[in-house]
A and B are shown apart, each in its own frame.
Chain A
Amino acid sequence: MNRTGVKIGVYVCHCGINIAATVDVEAVRAFAATLNNVAVARHFQFLCSAPGQEMIKKDVRELGLNRVVVASCSPRMHEIAFQGVLADTGLNPYYLDMANIREQCSWITSDTAQATEKAKRLIGGAVARVALQEPLQGRQVPVIPKALVVGGGIAGIQAALSIADAGYHVYLVEREPSIGGRMAQLDRTFPTLDCSACILIPKMVAVERHPNITLLSYSEVVKVSGYVGNFKVRVKKKPRYVEPGACTGCDECARVCPVEVLSEFDMGQGKRRAIYRPFAQAVPSAFVIDKRKSPCKLACPAHVKVQGYIGLIGQGKLKEALDLIREELPFPSVCGRVCLRPCENECERKQVDESLAIAALKRFAADHVSNEGPPVPVRRTKKEKVAIIGSGPTGIAAAYDLVRMGYGVTVFEAAPVAGGMLALGIPDYRLPREVLQKEIDRVRALGVEIKTNTPVGQTLTIPDLFKQGSGAIFIAIGAQQSHRLPIPGSELEGTLAGLSFLRDIKMGKRVKLGQRVLVFGGGNVALDCARSAVRLGAQEVRIACPESRETMPADPSEIKQGEEEGIVIHPSRTLAGLLGYDNRVAGADCLNVLRIMFDEEGHLKLETVPASAHVLPADTVIFATGQAPELGVVSGVQGLTITERNTIAADPDTLATGVPGLFAGGDVVTMAGSVIEAIASGKKAAVSIDRYLQGRDLREGRTEEPVKSADFKVVIPPGTQTAPKQIMPELPLKDRQGNFKEVALGFTREMAVAEAKRCLNCAVCSECHQCEAVCLPKCIHHALKEEEVDLEVGAIAIATGHDFFHAPLLPQYNYGHFPNIIESMEFERLCSATGPTGGKIVLADGRVPRSIAIIHCVGSRDYHANTYCSRVCCMHALKQAYLVKEKTGAQVYELYTDIRASGKGYEEFYERVQREGVLFIHGRGAEVIMQGDQLVVKAEETGLGRPITLPVDLVILSTGMTPRKDSEQVARIFGITCDHHRFFMESHLKLRPFHSNTDGIFLAGTCQAPRDIPDTIAHANASAAEILSLLARGKVAIEPLVAEINPELCSACPACICVCPYQAISLNGKGKRVAEVNEALCKGCGACAASCPSGAITVKHFTDRQVFAQIEGILAGTESRSKP
């Protein structure tokens, strides 16, 4: 059926013989002429030629055509050109459709009949579609006259300079601390043998000085939105921790840094410090601190800088180590002995062998700093006073931090000694009282007043303390009441409560104990009671607990030591009752526990094994089953909430109670926790109290979920050797009887240093602050935070460069297994005057090599690795052979597949290297092995047709260029694509080799494909030229292929809003609520149209009607299944 007024011209292209050899163009033309609305149908040899285009224009003018179908190559090839032909005649360019009868027809079959039929169908579809196409107007939008260049290697530097020289502003974003990229690592460049640094560095400096370039080093692009001419870019600026303007590059900081890691710039061959500059000529020249996350510090509730003090101990700087521990912790000696060591659980050294003995090292530092006088009292700078109730670890930790902030601090302690559970609950054989006393004395000496024998709650109350001028009060009374199980017989003579038992021993009271002691409980208090009982002379000591052996909460090392001392453990038991004789305990009725459960309210429920009743003999039973706070202290305080578990309710983030100025922390809030948790709670309270007294927000910045070590990955440095953990020397068993001498004896100096050296420096910077101390311009700031900046640019050049093939992926070369097998970039650093050997080519043992084999194509042109040719390695290998000859005179063998020396001056350089006496072996290196202590390369000499073996001193593996390992993520950020090797995809390999598939984003250098420096410069300048043309045009046309919503049909359901990836659709609020498209944001994907249940959305140029017509046109002639 003809549509009135529609006159279509159909033009079938021969494309020389590309189409005409397979498709019967005349038959196709004749078929097209019969189609509805077709006014003329012709075929022509090359429609894209000027005469071809002229023919179409003439027909439009003379025959009054108003639609055109061109059946030729892919629309991706010439659609824009033919749209231009229509525009030239005054027709709207969107009245064109193309039938792809070359790429998708004539080239895919040699069957003429089938190809001809297919061409007819495709043209049938196009003719039906074009009849319904509508005129559309492209939009023009202004271009932001700025550019972004991503990557500061030679490609990025060149592109940035070219754009900036033309007068446009450029943001150059570089991920590393310095620009320079791979070229800065090279020694010399082929074929001219220019020193790479000498020709690169002037350009780097030019970037830094250029008024039109803003250099964002140590930064990464994290988000890109917008479109050609109008991109919005978010850049994450990683903190350098060193002020670039102020740093003089004097290097003093690096000299004192205790952390050494492998230098990335030297390809892992040399070392660098945690504060470093990648290379001497870096731009910017400022140092940078490599600060990562450290699992131990994050695992420590008090965030003690574990890696820092371990590094300092490794260097023998014990005083500095102890000072660093004391930044966070008033109790280095105590924690070095009794901490439960959550840090050691997270230690990454476990990936290699065992975790570090962190607590033992802390103890070593604390015990071995000699000649330490009392600390200088802190000057009081703030008028406010703080009262702390309880002198346990929580209270003292809070007092310690508050006094150092300048507050007046008084601690009220009910007991005759300070220290809380540390003083009264932990036996001397684990924590000698003088160790604790020394640390409490230090806190006193800093200015904290500790009043012992001063209970709060009766004669002195909390309201009294407020009245007496305390600005804030912190309740840290712990949980010091022991529970006795409510079972028959629990009040018999011979039953004891665990904590009172321990307390009596610590207070020097005589404790009456029988011969057969049974301790009930599975935690550390149970172990402390049992081991104390052994020391007091009990003959038989048993522990019974409901937990299984594996789930006992006590420290495994405690359990081990207890068993060594003769304690028998009966796991998975519960007590049904105590048996008495003559009103004295005689035994315990036990049941075996099958399962431990908790009911809905969190109460413990035990499922016992039926008929498992049995008796454990005992004349003394000690209950070590939990503890509770004694809350007399808060009697009469209004507004305080006491929980069901008899603890004080406090905000978990701030420790504030319901009463202004009254805070509570530690066990009185959380029930029995560890010492370090108690300390952390005290520190948290100190921050809150300071903020409260200074009138600041208690909550700001404290509610975020803490980072856990599971959230990030630590890379174990390559080449890490196993080293056994140092074993803590212990008091011999025979010496432990009848006394409370300390069991763990502490490390010797040698052991401590050896143990400290096992640290993997996970966080690199250990935050020991030694650098800060020596920095003269005071430009080091460890507290700097990451920043984000938003940029607006009109165009983007991506110049993110390449990585290298990882030689261990080809095991036949034994890279990493034997010494003196290196990758070509490692050789480059070895050869460089600024490299780890100062430019001397030497073997691992320092000898100069006499023979060297260079194996080409490692990881390239290889079906087991990358199939592509990496293009630069042949010349790179020839240059390296030349350098070897020049520097050592050694024999060089080049084992090559083909020498690819195409480029100006390259073939000549190849000849020159041959003349130098380098031996060329045409055959792939098959294997590198060690025979005795001789490296041997096995290969096939294809010229001779036989295998050869070459004994050599050094093997250089010419590893090819690979895409950056995160190229796919980067592609996603920029909305560009990767090819199947993962290099960035160009828009057309021949015609648009530096355009990405996204308008306005261009590719420069090796991120698109391997290329050498001259080609990279050319590629980068090509991208720069394209960007300049865009910026200079000032306006950009946007295709009008956007979605449109028919408000009559829209039911505001918001299906389209949910599927739109660009937030281009919103519900309009005026009158009837309907969805509306923001044309500036719409990209025309059509997801909304496909999802609209009302059929209200059309996508211009891809309307449902147009697609239906195309389907109908294609399928014309088949038996239609439609039933009217």
Chain B
Amino acid sequence: MTGHFEPRIVGFLCNWCAYTGADLAGTSRLKYAPNVDIIRVMCSGRVDPTFILKAFQLGADGVLICGCHPGDCHYSGGNYKAARRIAILKKLLKQFGIEPERLRLDWVSASEGERFASVVNEMTAQIRKLGPLMPTNGPEIAKEEAKEFAESATPG
């Protein structure tokens, strides 16, 4: 194993806002971390939790989902649906032994190229800090989660 770590991040971007925003970042020649490989979906609400788990399973160190800003969804409310699903999934991730910080949902409008670039940079820095997703850490994280759960479930 070499000392250098390049995070591998899979990005799911909605076609109408975020994907267009990512295109705008490129058209504006903004330089940002090339670590996010983008998969275009029609709506962030299309992002099935299994897509995210599949990406982690196949070797992604992080998963980024970007949709339209709340209220601006092309399909009226798909981004709200994504927000709810991701909130639940984040809770589950710990049980799989994956730090919830490896999953990020953010809003990028079609006109926010700069915002997209900074979201990607932040995400990449975050994953760089967390290091590669090591399955060996899994039991530790899961154990921590179990402990937290036990504490929160204990009647006070």
In the bound complex, CA of A298 to CA of B58 (Å): 65
In the complex, chain B residues whose CB is within 8 Å of the CB of A1089: 46, 48
Contact A1090 B17 (CB under 8 A): no
B88-126 vs A, Cβ < 8 Å mask (1 yes, 0 no)? 000000000000000000000111100001000000000
Contact A1059 B55 (CB under 8 A): no
In the bound complex, CA of A105 to CA of B29 (Å): 10
Q: Is B145 an interface residue (CB 8 A)?
A: no
Known: A1111-B55, A1120-B57. A107 touches B48 (CB 8 A): no
Contact B78 A1087 (CB under 8 A): yes
Distance between B119 CB and nearest chain A CB, rounded to angstroms: 13
Distance between B24 CB and nearest chain A CB, rounded to angstroms: 8
Find A108's partner among B32, B45, B77 (CB 8 Å cutoff): B32
Find B75's partner among A75, A109, A125, A1083 (CB 8 Å cutoff): A1083
In the bound complex, CA of A864 to CA of B60 (Å): 42
Q: Is A103 an interface residue (CB 8 A)?
A: yes
B43, B49, B56, B71 pick with most chain A CB within 10 angstroms: B43
Q: Which of B51-93 contact A (CB under 8 A)?
A: 51, 54-60, 71-72, 74-78, 81, 85
Contact B48 A1104 (CB under 8 A): yes
Distance between B86 CB and nearest chain A CB, rounded to angstroms: 11
In the complex, chain B residues whose CB is within 8 Å of the CB of A104: 22-23, 26, 38
Interface size on A, residues (CB 8 A): 54
B77's nearest neighbour on chain A, judged by CB, is A1061
Q: Is A1110 an interface residue (CB 8 A)?
A: yes
Q: Which of A74-127 contact B (CB under 8 A)?
A: 74-76, 100, 102-105, 107-111, 114-115, 118, 121-122, 125
A110, A1041, A1110 pick with most chain B CB within 10 angstroms: A1110
Q: Is A1112 an interface residue (CB 8 A)?
A: yes
Contact B22 A103 (CB under 8 A): yes
In the bound complex, CA of A109 to CA of B30 (Å): 8
B112's nearest neighbour on chain A, judged by CB, is A980
In the bound complex, CA of A1115 to CA of B55 (Å): 8
In the bound complex, CA of A1102 to CA of B78 (Å): 16
Contact A1118 B20 (CB under 8 A): no
B135's nearest neighbour on chain A, judged by CB, is A1121
Known: A109-B34, A121-B37. A1121 touches B42 (CB 8 A): no
Q: Is B50 an interface residue (CB 8 A)?
A: yes
Contact B31 A1085 (CB under 8 A): no
Find B26's partner among A102, A1119, A1120 (CB 8 Å cutoff): A102
In the complex, chain A residues whose CB is within 8 Å of the CB of B81: 1059, 1087, 1090-1091
Q: Is B41 an interface residue (CB 8 A)?
A: yes
B109's nearest neighbour on chain A, judged by CB, is A980
Contact A111 B34 (CB under 8 A): yes
A1059's nearest neighbour on chain B, judged by CB, is B81
CB-based A-B contact count at 8 angstroms: 154
Contact B34 A985 (CB under 8 A): no
In the complex, chain A residues whose CB is within 8 Å of the CB of B117: 108
Q: Is B25 an interface residue (CB 8 A)?
A: yes
A1050-1086 vs B, Cβ < 8 Å mask (1 yes, 0 no)? 0000000001011000000000000000000001111
In the bound complex, CA of A1115 to CA of B62 (Å): 12
Distance between A1103 CB and nearest chain B CB, rounded to angstroms: 11
Find B30's partner among A108, A1085, A1102 (CB 8 Å cutoff): A108
In the complex, chain A residues whose CB is within 8 Å of the CB of B50: 1104
Known: A122-B37, A997-B74. A1118 touches B59 (CB 8 A): yes
Q: Is B127 an interface residue (CB 8 A)?
A: no
Contact B74 A107 (CB under 8 A): no
Contact B39 A1110 (CB under 8 A): yes
Contact A1090 B45 (CB under 8 A): yes
In the complex, chain B residues whose CB is within 8 Å of the CB of A1114: 10, 37, 39
In the complex, chain B residues whose CB is within 8 Å of the CB of A459: none
Contact B59 A1115 (CB under 8 A): yes
Distance between B134 CB and nearest chain A CB, rounded to angstroms: 9
Q: Is B40 an interface residue (CB 8 A)?
A: yes
Distance between B146 CB and nearest chain A CB, rounded to angstroms: 21
Find B46's partner among A975, A1062, A1086, A1118 (CB 8 Å cutoff): A1086
Q: Is A1108 an interface residue (CB 8 A)?
A: yes
Contact B41 A1102 (CB under 8 A): yes
Contact B46 A985 (CB under 8 A): no
In the complex, chain B residues whose CB is within 8 Å of the CB of A1090: 45-49, 81, 85
In the bound complex, CA of A1061 to CA of B74 (Å): 10
Contact A105 B8 (CB under 8 A): no
In the bound complex, CA of A114 to CA of B4 (Å): 14
Contact B43 A109 (CB under 8 A): no
Known: A76-B20, A76-B23, A1089-B46. A1107 touches B38 (CB 8 A): no
In the bound complex, CA of A371 to CA of B111 (Å): 72
In the bound complex, CA of A1108 to CA of B50 (Å): 9
Q: Is A977 an interface residue (CB 8 A)?
A: yes
In the complex, chain B residues whose CB is within 8 Å of the CB of A978: 72
In the complex, chain B residues whose CB is within 8 Å of the CB of A985: 110-111
Contact A1087 B46 (CB under 8 A): yes
In the bound complex, CA of A978 to CA of B29 (Å): 23
Contact A1087 B75 (CB under 8 A): yes
Contact A1121 B46 (CB under 8 A): no
In the bound complex, CA of A1041 to CA of B72 (Å): 21
Q: Is A264 an interface residue (CB 8 A)?
A: no
B39, B57, B77, B111 pick with most chain A CB within 10 angstroms: B39
In the complex, chain B residues whose CB is within 8 Å of the CB of A997: 16, 74, 110
In the complex, chain A residues whose CB is within 8 Å of the CB of B37: 118, 121-122, 125, 1114
In the bound complex, CA of A139 to CA of B11 (Å): 31
Find A105's partner among B33, B34, B45 (CB 8 Å cutoff): B34
In the bound complex, CA of A1108 to CA of B111 (Å): 29
Contact A1086 B34 (CB under 8 A): no
Contact B59 A1086 (CB under 8 A): no
Known: A74-B23, A105-B34, A977-B109. A1086 touches B58 (CB 8 A): no
Q: Is B27 an interface residue (CB 8 A)?
A: yes
In the complex, chain B residues whose CB is within 8 Å of the CB of A980: 109, 111-112
In the complex, chain B residues whose CB is within 8 Å of the CB of A122: 37-38
In the complex, chain A residues whose CB is within 8 Å of the CB of B76: 975, 1061
Q: Is A817 an interface residue (CB 8 A)?
A: no
A461-499 vs B, Cβ < 8 Å mask (1 yes, 0 no)? 000000000000000000000000000000000000000
Contact A1120 B75 (CB under 8 A): no
Contact A1121 B74 (CB under 8 A): no
A955-980 vs B, Cβ < 8 Å mask (1 yes, 0 no)? 00000000000000000100101111
In the bound complex, CA of A979 to CA of B58 (Å): 37
Contact B59 A1085 (CB under 8 A): no
In the bound complex, CA of A925 to CA of B5 (Å): 54
B15's nearest neighbour on chain A, judged by CB, is A76
In the complex, chain A residues whose CB is within 8 Å of the CB of B45: 1059, 1085-1087, 1090
Contact B110 A1107 (CB under 8 A): no
Contact B25 A1107 (CB under 8 A): no
Contact A1085 B42 (CB under 8 A): yes
Q: Is A557 an interface residue (CB 8 A)?
A: no
Q: Is A529 an interface residue (CB 8 A)?
A: no
In the bound complex, CA of A114 to CA of B32 (Å): 12
Contact A1061 B39 (CB under 8 A): no
Distance between A126 CB and nearest chain B CB, rounded to angstroms: 10
Distance between A703 CB and nearest chain B CB, rounded to angstroms: 32
Contact A118 B42 (CB under 8 A): no
In the bound complex, CA of A1061 to CA of B76 (Å): 7
Top-4 shortest CB links A-B: A1086-B46, A1118-B59, A103-B26, A1085-B75
| Inter-chain pairs besides A108-B117, A997-B16, 5 sampled, C-beta below 8 Å | A76-B20, A985-B111, A1061-B76, A1108-B54, A1111-B58
List 16 A-B residue pairs with CB atoms under 8 Å apart, sorted by A's residue number: A76-B20, A103-B27, A105-B34, A107-B29, A108-B31, A109-B33, A110-B31, A122-B37, A977-B110, A979-B110, A1061-B77, A1086-B41, A1108-B54, A1111-B10, A1111-B60, A1118-B60
Contact surface of B with A, Cβ cutoff 8 Å: 8, 10, 16-17, 19-20, 22-23, 25-27, 29-34, 37-43, 45-51, 54-60, 71-72, 74-78, 81, 85, 109-112, 117, 133, 135
